[in-house]
Amino acid sequence: IYTPIIIGGVFKATGNRAPMIRYAEAPAKLAYEQIEFGRFVAAHSIPFRMNPHFPVNSLLVMRTLVGAQQAGCLMPAVDALMSGMWERGLDLAQPEIVAAALNEAGLDGRALLALADDRDVKAKLVANTDEAVTRGAFGVPTFFVGDDMFFGKERFGQVAATIKKS
């Protein structure tokens, strides 16, 4: 189950920091992380380009995704916004750009942005974040299979194997 969270909230609650900050004083480690990420993208044929607006404040996107979840269109919204962020290089901190990306995917961008401003949607996003931290999350991607937690893209195989055993 895809669960939108506030990554900044997770970092604040856990004392974690983004890799670009965490490895700022270890340039070889940061460079290696970028090489490894490129290998992962290539090995899985993932269309990716670094977003020129990165880091983007993702609060609007995450609120929009919680609203999309409530509206029953979470995964099409995730696909549209992830593509916008990591394939098309869009500045998804801008409401009009978020709405346009959703509209292009056949969704009602204006309605989803309106939901993003709803008090209950905002509260749900905070609750999602708090729950993730309570369960042990300290960054993304984090996966839970039952009570087992897996962190990082490198754990996809372990997640799949655990699901098969379930």
pTM as predicted: 0.93
Q: Which two tokens stand for residue 9?
A: 């909230």
What's the chain's average pLDDT? 96
Quote the pLDDT of residue 20: 87
Q: pLDDT tens for residues 49-85?
A: 999 999 999 999 999 999 999 999 999 999 999 999 9
pLDDT computed for residue 81 by the predictor: 98
Task: Assign 17 a pLDDT band (cuts: 50, 70, 90).
Answer: very high
Q: Do 65 and 85 form a contact (C-beta atoms < 8 A)? A: no
